[in-house]
Chain A
Amino acid sequence: MLDRSAMGALALAAALAMSVAGAKAFDDASYPDWSGYWLAFGAARGSFDTSRPKGLEQQAPLKPEFQKILEASIADIAAGGQGNDPGYHCGSHGMPRVMLALEPIFFVILPQTTYVILERLSQVRRIFTDGHAWPVQLPGASVGYSIGQWIDTDGDGRYDTLQVETRGINGTRVYDSNGAPLHPDNSTIVKERISLDKSDPNILHNEITTIDDALTRPWTIMRSYRRHPAVWDEYVCAATNEHLAIGHDDYLLSADGLLMPVKKGQKPPDLRYFDAPQP
């Protein structure tokens, strides 16, 4: 069976789902072995497009007004700030950034849903593979709402590729820590094509195409992950985060629990209320 149309894939998925419902047996052998934990690798793994250097050299196809936001973010980072990365206050990275997999991710494949579980913040992506259509109203989430199709591209009778489309993504999001922004209109669509490397089953590839109103054209990149033994490690950002916001200003907390500047020459916080007579 060669790569098939979406209709064909949907029909196959629906047929499989029906048989599961009838026999109540999930034939694991029909799906690829994506067990274990998957983690990005390589020196450039922190950048959205690992084939290019970080920052402006990513050449994100941003519209001019969004390119200015990126440039300002990079300048702020160079000065010691965090740019416009919402993640350092423990927020969700959202789609598509969560698929950078700088912290491990793992998959739970069931006939009607494939779960992508992210160690960072223990977030769960549900990729519905039961053939249902897009709901009229999407609930809206930083990881969006995902519908997927399993495909048997080489016709060996076993699915090998998961095609995913994600919509309904909301919240302030950037592609990576340098701060290339997505449009705030929350109209982003992300398409993914996930499959094991043909020669190395311990490498998983994810071709990610982002369609966003801040871009001049769809932006396609390839992320790759390496399999690791399955060990879950709770990642609780809020319990260890040393960044602190007071009003609109950012500070650091020292190991001895005192306020510190994040940038050279940063002014201390305004303590006028401590000088005023207290009620």
Chain B
Amino acid sequence: MPYQGTTGALALVAALALSVSGARAFDESRFPNWKGQWVALGGAGNAAWDTTLPPGAGERALLTPEYQAVFAANIKAEAAGGPALDPTSRCVPAGMPRVMMAVQPMEIVITPGITYFMFPAFDSLRHIYTDGRSFPAQIEPSFIGTSIGQWQDTDGDGRFDTLRIETRAIRGPHTYDASGIPFHKDGEAVVTEKVYADKADQNTLHDEITTRDHALLRPWTVTRSYRRDAGQVRPEWLEVLCRRDASRVLIGDQNYKVSPEGLLMPAVKGQQRPDLKYFK
């Protein structure tokens, strides 16, 4: 079956879902074998969202002038003791699309109507609905967004090999990576993905990720890749608990330090005392 359009793919998915629902048998052979533990390629050196661009100025160049200014102001504010640019430092989830950097290994669980992307970090479980549904008219924004996918058999061998995903309703604040590159505050970012195994190596998975956001001059496409150990019979799944940085607290919009003995301290010279009117 050659590569097919959206309508054809949806029809195929719907037919498959129906047959599964009727027979109550899940024909795994129709889907790619993406079992195992997927580890992001590149390791710590791959910490930038787009490794093809020089960090900092190169990535910043993709932002509209308004958001270049926002980014610069955020950097300045953080340097002056303000809130950290990276929301994950406060245990706020990385969200989409950043979660696909897979800082910790991920598991992909394929079922007929939903494919799950599971990450060890808290608040990072993706549901990719592949049952042919449409996006609801109203979606409650979430950090992980709402994702609808379509399986495709691009080489016509009778087995799906590619998962195309669109994700909307992504809640902010979120950033592309730890550098703090911002998304537009309107929350209208749309992320599309094409996930497939490498043609020459089924133990390498690629995710072509395109982000459309009003803070960008043009859609931004990056490819993240992951690898699994084919010889790993039973992967060890670690639990990653977010530990808030106890040396900093955010009270309202003000960032403060906490001394080693647990007392509140100014984060910047001349910072005002917090308002304690509720203690009177």
Contact = CB atoms under 8 A, between A and B. Distances in A.
A25 B143 contact: no
A279 B268 CA distance: 9
A274 B249 contact: no
Interface string B156-168: 0000000000000
B20 to A, nearest CB: 7
B93 interface: yes
A257 B252 contact: yes
Given A117-B125, A236-B92, A245-B246, A270 B109 contact: no
Interface in B257-280: 258-259, 261-266, 269-279
B51 to A, nearest CB: 27
Interface size range on A against B: 35 or more
B28 A271 contact: no
A122 B26 contact: no
A126 interface: yes
A28 B251 contact: no
B137 interface: no
B142 A273 contact: no
Nearest to A139: B236
Contacts of A108: 109, 111, 116
Q: Is the interface of B mostly helix, strand, loop or mixed?
A: loop
Nearest to B142: A234
B252 A238 contact: no
A141 B258 contact: no
Interface stretch (B8-16, B52-60, B221-229, B237-245): B237-245
A255 to B, nearest CB: 10
Given A90-B91, A239-B92, A258-B278, A25 B242 contact: no
Interface string A42-76: 00000000000000000000000000000000000
Interface stretch (A4-12, A193-201, A211-219, A246-254): A246-254
A267 B241 CA distance: 31
Interface of B: 20, 23-29, 90-93, 109, 111, 116, 118, 122-125, 127, 140, 142-144, 171, 234, 236-239, 241-242, 244, 246, 249, 251-253, 258-259, 261-266, 269-279
Going nearest first, the 5 A-B pairs with the smallest beta carbon separation are A247-B262, A257-B252, A141-B239, A234-B142, A238-B91
Interface of A: 20, 24-29, 89-92, 108, 110, 115, 117, 121-124, 126, 132, 135, 139-143, 171, 232-239, 244-249, 253-254, 256-261, 266-274, 278-279
